[in-house]
Amino acid sequence: MKSILIVEDDRALGDGLCLALKDPALELTLCRTLSAARSALEAGGFDLLILDVNLPDGNGLDFLRRLRAGANSVPVILLTANDMETDIVAGLESGADDYVTKPFSLAVLRARVNAQLRRDRGAVPSGPLVLDGFSFDFERMEFRRDGRSVDLSKTEQKLLRILVENRGRTLPRELLVDRVWTGGAEYVDENALSVTVKRLRGKLEENPSKPRYLKTVYGIGYTWTTGEKEG
């Protein structure tokens, strides 16, 4: 049985989340303050934390940073009313695994929760990642599309790896720039990411002008679409 801790001070929303996620295979714990959440986490293992950002006794992002600083690796989905790119980046950089902006569909939240619970975080990746005609082997730096070898630069490989390892999530431009050009993002031309995305599409997409996989989420960033057959 999987165990989920929900931290949400809005009574109606918190109760609604518990109702939406109710399942015989899930054990749900609802806390309305960070203090209560801290005690619950200290008491024992949760498989997922759903964390509101704005709480009566503190800020969820500060709470998350302290969790990560203490080496607590529980997966975290942030609930936030802020949909600005800077807020999303702050959440991901604080250690969140995913985020949902209010108002949100409960069906979408359930899908995000199930995606996090399915992840085998203890597993060590081995061999290529196979996604609907693509084969990406980042350890051997071997990449194929429909069986044909594709040459990717180191920068293209780094960007592709971040996107496919977070497939289904929209990753902000600022976050991608910081991770691809590690430590030197302030010296990178603002068009560098756009150019790298364009080159990747040219090598991986059948029709780069109408990408099926590496998609732009206007005003935010990029995502590698899910729903493809994986092997």
pLDDT tens digits, residue range 38-82? Answer: 999 888 778 999 999 889 999 999 999 888 887 777 889 998 876
Give the confidence band of 21 by pLDDT, cuts at 50, 70, 90.
Answer: very high
Return d(Cα 95, Cα 224) in angstroms, integer.
20
List 58's β-bridge partners, or say none.
Answer: 55
Query: Is there a domain that residue 124 lies in?
Result: no
What pLDDT score was predicted for residue 83? 66
Q: Which of 10, 54, 62 is nearest to 31 (CA)?
A: 10
Asked if 113 and 200 sit in the same domain, the reply is no
Domain end position, chosen among 118, 142, 157: 118
Q: Which of 108, 55, 60, 101 is nearest to 82 (CA)?
A: 101
Report the CATH number that the domain containing residue 35 is assigned in CATH: 3.40.50.2300
Query: Is there a domain that residue 111 lies in?
Result: yes
Report the CATH number that the domain containing residue 164 is assigned in CATH: 1.10.10.10
Give the confidence band of 206 by pLDDT, cuts at 50, 70, 90.
Answer: very high
CA 64 to chain centre: 15
Asked if 89 and 162 sit in the same domain, the reply is no
Asked if 172 and 105 sit in the same domain, the reply is no
Query: Is there a domain that residue 178 lies in?
Result: yes
- Residue type at 28? L
Q: What number is the average pLDDT over the span 197-217? A: 94
Asked if 114 and 6 sit in the same domain, the reply is yes
Asked if 91 and 180 sit in the same domain, the reply is no
What pLDDT score was predicted for residue 92? 82
Q: What number is the average pLDDT over the span 83-95? A: 76
Long-range pairs, 185-194, Cβ under 8 A, ≥24:
193/159
Give the confidence band of 7 by pLDDT, cuts at 50, 70, 90.
Answer: very high
Contact 36, 82 (CB under 8 A): no
Give the confidence band of 229 by pLDDT, cuts at 50, 70, 90.
Answer: very low
Task: Quickly count: other Cβ atoms within 10 Å of residue 18's Cβ.
Answer: 16
What pLDDT score was predicted for residue 231? 37
Give the confidence band of 228 by pLDDT, cuts at 50, 70, 90.
Answer: very low
Asked if 88 and 25 sit in the same domain, the reply is yes
Task: Quickly count: other Cβ atoms within 10 Å of residue 202's Cβ.
Answer: 9
Domain end position, chosen among 118, 144, 168: 118
Query: Is there a domain that residue 187 lies in?
Result: yes
What pLDDT score was predicted for residue 230? 39
- At 202, list the tokens: 């040219």
Domain end position, chosen among 118, 149, 166: 118
> What digits encode the pLDDT tens for the residues 155-195?
999 999 989 888 888 888 888 887 887 655 455 666 889 99
- At 229, list the tokens: 């057959």
- Residue type at 151? D
Query: Is there a domain that residue 229 lies in?
Result: no
Q: Which domain holds residue 199?
A: 129-224
Better pLDDT: 32 or 139? 32
Contact 22, 46 (CB under 8 A): no
What pLDDT score was predicted for residue 127? 67
> What digits encode the pLDDT tens for the residues 91-133?
888 888 888 888 788 888 888 888 888 765 544 455 688 888 8
Query: Is there a domain that residue 145 lies in?
Result: yes
Asked if 108 and 158 sit in the same domain, the reply is no
- At 133, list the tokens: 């005609």
What pLDDT score was predicted for residue 84? 65
Query: Is there a domain that residue 230 lies in?
Result: no
DSSP β-ladder status, 221-224 and 171-172: antiparallel
Asked if 111 and 14 sit in the same domain, the reply is yes
Beta strands of the chain (E only): which ranges?
2-7, 26-31, 48-52, 54-55, 58-59, 76-80, 98-101, 129-131, 134-137, 142-145, 148-149, 171-172, 214-217, 221-224
Query: Is there a domain that residue 71 lies in?
Result: yes
Task: Quickly count: other Cβ atoms within 10 Å of residue 145's Cβ.
Answer: 15
Task: Quickly count: other Cβ atoms within 10 Å of residue 229's Cβ.
Answer: 8
What pLDDT score was predicted for residue 57? 93
Asked if 62 and 151 sit in the same domain, the reply is no
How many domains are there within the chain? Answer: 2
Asked if 48 and 86 sit in the same domain, the reply is yes
Asked if pLDDT for residue 85 goes beyond 90, the answer is no
**Counting runs of H as helices and runs of E as strands, what totals does the chain give?**
8, 14
Asked if 112 and 202 sit in the same domain, the reply is no
